[in-house]
Amino acid sequence: MSLKIQKHYVTEIVKLKLWYVKWLLYFGVNFEDAIQRHVDIYRMTSLYDGSKSHQPITGWSDPSWEKILIKLRRIYDKYSGHPALESTLKLEEEGLSILWPYLEKRIKMEAKIIPEKKPYGCFGYEYQRDYLHLHFSNAVRPNSPFSDMFTLAESLYKLVIDSKERRPEIKRVNMTSWLNTFSPFLSLFPPTWGNSRKPLGPDSGDGAWGQFIDRTGDFHSHNATIFRKTGQFPYVYSLCGCSINELIKYLREKYIKEKNGRDKKR
From the list 220, 224, 210, the residue with the least C-alpha distance to 23 is 224
Sheet holding 123-128, edge to edge: 123-128, 131-136, 172-177, 238-243, 198-199
Going residue by residue through the chain, which has 266 residues, state the pLDDT in tens, using 9 for 90 and above: 789 999 999 999 999 999 999 999 999 999 999 999 999 999 999 999 989 899 888 888 999 999 999 999 999 999 887 776 667 999 999 999 999 999 999 999 988 887 778 899 999 999 999 999 999 999 999 999 999 999 999 999 999 999 999 999 999 999 999 999 999 999 999 999 999 999 997 778 899 999 999 999 999 999 999 999 999 999 999 999 999 999 999 999 999 977 666 665 55
| pTM summary value | 0.91
* Cα–Cα dist 40/188, whole Å: 29
Residue pair 49/37 in contact by the 8 Å Cβ criterion: no
Q: Is 4 helix (H, G, I), strand (E, B) or coil?
A: helix
pLDDT at 112: 82
Query: Measured in whole angstroms, how far is the alpha carbon of residue 9 from the centre of its chain?
Result: 13
List the beta bridge partners of residue 126. Answer: 133
Buried b (16+ CB within 10 A) or exposed e, 47-82: bbeeeeeebbeeeeebeebeebbeebeebbeebeee
Q: Are the beta carbons of 12 and 224 closer than 8 angstroms?
A: yes
Where does residue 35 rank: exposed (0-12), middle (13-18), buried (19+ CB within 10 A)?
A: buried
Sequence-distant (6+) residues with CB within 8 A of 233 are 178, 208, 211, 227
Measure the CA–CA gap between 195 and 229, rounded to whole angstroms: 29
Cα dist. 6→104, 175, 190, 191, 206 in Å? 10, 26, 35, 36, 15
The dihedral region occupied by 129, where left means phi > 0, alpha psi between -120 and 50, and beta the remainder, is: left
The pLDDT, as a whole number, for residue 260 is 63
The predicted pLDDT at position 40 comes to 93
How is 84-150 classified by DSSP, letter by letter?
-HHHHHHHHHHHHHHHHHHHHHHHHHHHTPPPPPPTTTTEEEEEETTEEEEEE--SSTTS-TTS-HH
pLDDT on residue 263: 60
